[in-house]
Amino acid sequence: MEINDWETTDVLICGCGPTGAMLSAYLGQMSIPNVVLEREADITTDPRGIALDEDGIRFLQGVGIYDSIFTEIGTCMRKFNFISGTELVLEKSPFLTLDYSTTSGGTGHIGFLCHKQPILEKNLRRAMSASSFCALRSESTVYELSEDEQWVYCNYRDANGIERRIRARFFVGADGKTGFTRKQYLEPKGVQMEKVTEEFYEETWVALNWKITLPTPECHPEFPLWALGYTPEQVYDLFFPEEFCFLCNPNRSAVCGRFGLPTDRLWRFEFVVRPGEDGYEMAKPESIKKVVFPYVTHQGSRYGLAHDVQFPDDCINIIRARPFTFSARSCNVWAKDRVILCGDAAHVFPPFGGQGIASGFRDAVSLAWRLALLCRQQQPTPNLHKQVLRAWYQERKQQLEMSLATTLQNGKFVCEANLGKIFIRDWYLWLIQLFPTWRRDLQLGRRKEGLIRYMYSDGMPFMPQFNGGLTLPQVFCKDMTGKVHFTDDVIFRCEHKSIFRLFVYLCNDEELALTRTVLERVEDLSRGEFAAEKVPHIIENITNSPVEDVRNLFRVASAEEFAQSALCRDRPEPTYYEPHLIRTMVGAKYIIMRPDRVIFAACNDEQDLKTAIGCMNDILRC
């Protein structure tokens, strides 16, 4: 077939779920033409994933939709309460509480967002539409792929059933664990999902979403709590507490909590399907009545009443009740030739760590800049893409294994059924929480371990001798007009077209003249990547009134200054915030960044900076 018969783009993405949309948006920021083929006509209205960790929030910020996070997409999950015992209650004192309302994780964000996935996807598509380089084609079904050394050729049917042909330099399957890319194209080529630990994990759970309507004295005059002075909002809070609950019940483990905006009144309840039970039977209304409704039924003695009090069932609208088999698996390779897997197509998570969507985001953002690098090559080295994608997989595999290990540990924690182990666990955690420092460490959970640092191996694009491979901490800063910003937004401003970014970090402004001189001397060496007048300076203390151009001067901001800014609207004020985290963790003046927020090199003098720029140039022109 003649080449002229094929439409051409740089990157073709199959699937416009959260991972595919995130990849497209980041490619668009880097001016890489991409087309997304989505099988469905519209965004699925079923809220599937509901938890997004702080890395995920940071990547949403990166595509320019921070203003929508707490106004449309969701709200802070705040506390996770772990409740022991066999009583079917939510108000029991927890044996452990994790606090995810803090900013202790080093990203400048809260620990977890409870979101509505359809609204999340809507905003990601809005970020895509902001770039002329992104094109979404809904109701488009891929049915055939083929490759040669330079291109991937895709046949698909559009919304009208017409067969279309498009070729791309790279094809990315973000179409889930049952999608075409892996199941139909790559599995026959030897790509397989494999267990990630020797101890194989697989369980079936039922996930249900409830939409709650407030009962009122007018519509439910016989409800007994009105006579005790309770308001409809107070009744809602009593039966559906704000905290997320992990019910470590040896008879039947469960997890529940609110999600979305507070005004949405959405509630998620997930429970394990025990051996011998059928998941589809357990998702039926009669089974839900037996398993879930006891949790929204209170003993009358709690209110001084003779009879139990159940939340009115006609105020509960079940919008989802489905069984899911959860497992921990990852593909043996994520890229074969020019076809790549991302998100659920490449790996699947159990539900105990809120890592599903976040891991897909990490895949997408770390892949986007590598694809931009490859697509910008005029005469690429043969097999360069294989080397680049192999290094991408090796990096991502490190983080994925850590996330999976944490998720599996959480699962064992929630699902423990051995009464002896439960007794030891509960008493041990009770004892160590008598010590304030240990109690705080427990409350911070895995966030106290800090940001990820990749271990170097050949081909990875960072310089370990210059602290490369560490995820850059994000703090708050103020420009010279007093406006508060996230430091990522200062470093990765879209006015720059370079893939790598450079910024300067100083304790005070005494060295400002020297660093500007250094930047002017290395500007030509960077081949236009780092124009001296555009490099931002983030400074802890500015004592002299600057007389030169101040557009790139920023002072590190305090928690109080952030709390008073528009960025803190509708989210908790920052607690455990460390304003000097970049200095304490990175400890360098000249910091070269990759778009995925990983440090390429952090240098303290001109010579080291020149060495790092030379290495960066080798990567950019390879």
pLDDT, tens digit (0-9, with 9 covering 90-100), for 292-309: 999 999 999 999 999 999
> Contact, 157 vs 163, CB < 8 A?
yes
What's the mean pLDDT in 48-59? 93
| pLDDT-above-70 percentage for the chain | 96
Cα 358 to Cα 364: distance, rounded to the nearest angstrom: 10
Query: What is the reported pLDDT for 448?
Result: 65
Cα 79 to Cα 489: distance, rounded to the nearest angstrom: 28
What are the helix (H) ranges across 220-261?
232-239
pLDDT level of residue 323 (50, 70, 90 thresholds): very high
The count of other CB atoms within 10 Å of the CB of residue 237 is: 12
pLDDT level of residue 544 (50, 70, 90 thresholds): confident
Query: What is the reported pLDDT for 199?
Result: 57
Query: What is the reported pLDDT for 573?
Result: 95
Query: What is the reported pLDDT for 497?
Result: 73
Would you call 5 helix, strand, or coil by DSSP? helix
What's the mean pLDDT in 21-43? 97
Query: What is the reported pLDDT for 437?
Result: 87
Q: Kindly write down the DSSP assignment for every residue of 519-577, as one continuous string.
A: HHHHTTTTTTSS-GGG--EEEEE--S---S--TTEEEEPPHHHHHTSGGGTTSPPP-S-
Query: What is the reported pLDDT for 202?
Result: 74
The count of other CB atoms within 10 Å of the CB of residue 162 is: 8
Query: What is the reported pLDDT for 133?
Result: 97
Query: What is the reported pLDDT for 393?
Result: 94
**Residue showing tokens 């905006």:** 261
CA 403: distance to chain centroid? 12
What's the mean pLDDT in 40-49? 88
Strand pairing report for 254-259 and 266-272: antiparallel
Query: What is the reported pLDDT for 348?
Result: 83
Cα 46 to Cα 27: distance, rounded to the nearest angstrom: 27
User: Which residue type, as a one-letter code, is found at position 192?
Assistant: Q
- Considering only CA atoms, give the Rg of the chain: 26
Mean pLDDT of the chain: 92
Residue 351 has pLDDT above 70, yes or no: no
pLDDT level of residue 2 (50, 70, 90 thresholds): low
Residue 1 has pLDDT above 60, yes or no: no
Nearest of 208, 177, 210 to residue 191 by alpha carbon? 177
pLDDT in tens, 391-413: 999 999 998 888 777 777 777 77
Query: What is the reported pLDDT for 201?
Result: 62
pLDDT in tens, 183-230: 999 999 999 988 776 555 678 899 999 999 999 999 999 999 999 999
pLDDT in tens, 408-432: 777 777 888 888 988 898 888 889 9
Give the CA count within 13 Å in the CB-facing half-sphere of 530.
31
What are the helix (H) ranges across 293-444?
356-375, 384-415, 419-432, 436-444
Question: What length does the chain have?
Answer: 622
**Six-digit token string for 264:** 């949405």
Contacts of 4 (CB under 8 A, 6+ apart): none
Residue 363 has pLDDT above 90, yes or no: yes
**Residue 479: exposure state from Cβ atoms within 10 A (0-12, 13-18, ≥19):** middle
Residue 158 has pLDDT above 90, yes or no: yes
> Contact, 432 vs 439, CB < 8 A?
yes
> Contact, 36 vs 25, CB < 8 A?
no
Residue 41 has pLDDT above 90, yes or no: yes
Torsion of CA 53, 57, 60, 62, to 10 degrees: -120
pLDDT in tens, 234-280: 999 999 999 999 999 999 999 999 999 999 999 999 999 999 999 99
pLDDT in tens, 567-587: 999 999 999 999 999 999 999
Cα 150 to Cα 337: distance, rounded to the nearest angstrom: 10
**Residue showing tokens 């402004």:** 509
pLDDT level of residue 536 (50, 70, 90 thresholds): very high
> Contact, 369 vs 61, CB < 8 A?
no
Nearest of 248, 234, 211, 209 to residue 94 by alpha carbon? 248
**Residue 299: exposure state from Cβ atoms within 10 A (0-12, 13-18, ≥19):** exposed
What's the mean pLDDT in 521-546? 87
What's the mean pLDDT in 157-162? 96
Cα-Cα-Cα-Cα dihedral sign, residues 53, 57, 60, 62: negative
Cα-Cα-Cα-Cα dihedral sign, residues 207, 212, 215, 219: negative
Cα 485 to Cα 550: distance, rounded to the nearest angstrom: 15
Residue 81's φ and ψ, nearest 5 degrees, are -100, 125
Nearest of 253, 269, 197, 205 to residue 422 by alpha carbon? 253
Cα 505 to Cα 260: distance, rounded to the nearest angstrom: 37
Nearest of 292, 296, 349, 297 to residue 325 by alpha carbon? 349
Query: What is the reported pLDDT for 556?
Result: 98
| pLDDT-above-90 percentage for the chain | 75
Of 331 and 202, the structure prediction assigns the larger pLDDT to 331
Angle, vertex CA 97, rays to CA 95 and CA 98, nearest 5? 145
Contacts of 94 (CB under 8 A, 6+ apart): 81, 82, 83, 245
Phi-psi region of 170 (alpha: psi -120 to 50; beta: other; left: phi over 0): beta
